Amino acid sequence: MFLVCIGFMSHWNIWESDEMDEGFSVGRRWEDLDTDILVKIFQSFDIFQLTSGIAHVCSAWRLACCDPLLWKTLDLSMLKSNFIKIPLEPYVYVDGRSDKTLTRLLKISLNLSQGNITSLIFHFNLYVSDEQLTYTAERCPRLRRLVLPAWNRIKTTGICKAIQKWEDLESLTMPSIANPRDLIEKIANNCRNFSELKVMGPFDVSFASTLAEYLPKLKVLSLRCSMLIKDALILMLDRLQCLEVLNISHCLLIETPAPPAPRRIIKELDQTILEKASRLREFLTCMADSCIMCQRTENDEGLMRWYKYEEGLWKADEVSSLSL
């Protein structure tokens, strides 16, 4: 990155020297390059390049580095933690150097962004701590979209504390959690414009009833590639009357009859479900035996092990507003 900066500066300095040799009066220096042009150039840089030190070249470059156009989205989806799995909570151990890298990147980015970030995206294998999340929340007061698929190291109190800072939050991508009530209630009470939710993981009746109770005005819900209980699906279709878009593509749809009858996998949606879903603007489904994604969901028992598949696959979604 520094080579790019040095090369650019050298080119400008050579131009300046040529003018001086030809007897012209020079009124501009390389740091006087128009801010709009600098911003346009910096827009082609990724997060690692933007935080590599170009803001310290001079005051003009720092001003350009702080331009809101560069910081609408903080995309960390190319950064993964260096971790190993462990048998006890939080089920991952993150290398200290990996944590330091993320902390450094967050501090520089959030300093330069000056509170202008509206979208924040973390990788599926980027394990953020409570401290890192709190630090971020305090410096992103205008956040509208959060993609945070891994919560292994985040406690419910930590994410609720962050949600309290994000009154403008409209969209959340999250993992499945055992007790979602506190979180969903916090969103309902704090985020007046919240309308989109993507859950990456098993989705049961408890989760569905919590959404119906606290977020009855939810408009978009994506559960793709998850284990979905049939009764939870019916409950959502019955009670989420404002729902416009529902994505259950590649889901492992499970029917759980009363014991001792075993649960069974449903391979085709029945007419009752289709009729209930007919009021939706979009009802996205895929349950084909020939579909590779459906096969993967079934093989992974409804908890997609994204790290086994193509890099970036976890970002995809049939709902355009939830795709990265």
Q: What is the mean pLDDT of the chain?
A: 90
Q: Which residue has the tokens 């827009």?
A: 43
- Which is more confident, 180 or 56? 180
pLDDT for 31:
61
Tell me, what amino acid is at 68?
Answer: P
CATH of domain 71-194: 3.80.10
Question: Reduced to 3 states, what is the DSSP secondary structure of residue 324?
Answer: coil
- Which is more confident, 12 or 57? 57
Q: CA of 129: how far to CAs of 76, 115, 146, 158, 199, in Å?
A: 15, 21, 15, 9, 20
pLDDT for 16:
42
| DSSP symbol at 128 | -
Distance CA 194, CA 215 (A): 8
pLDDT for 29:
60
Distance CA 137, CA 6 (A): 34
Q: Which residue has the tokens 């990155």?
A: 1
pLDDT for 147:
98
Per-residue model confidence as pLDDT tens digits over 17-44: 444 444 444 555 656 678 888 889 888 8
pLDDT tier at 258 (50, 70, 90 boundaries)? confident
**Cβ-contact 115, 139 below 8 angstroms:** yes
CATH of domain 31-70: 1.20.1280
Domain with CATH 3.80.10 in the chain: 71-194
pLDDT tier at 260 (50, 70, 90 boundaries)? confident
Sign (positive or negative) of CA dihedral 110, 111, 112, 118: positive
Per-residue model confidence as pLDDT tens digits over 87-123: 999 999 999 999 999 999 999 999 999 999 999 999 9
Pairing, β 196-200 against β 171-175: parallel
C-alpha angle with apex 217: 212 to 220, nearest 5 degrees? 90
pTM: 0.88
Domain with CATH 1.20.1280 in the chain: 31-70
pLDDT for 208:
98
Neighbours of 91 (CB within 10 A): 12
pLDDT tier at 7 (50, 70, 90 boundaries)? very low
Per-residue model confidence as pLDDT tens digits over 203-247: 999 999 999 999 999 999 999 999 999 999 999 999 999 999 999
pLDDT for 10:
41
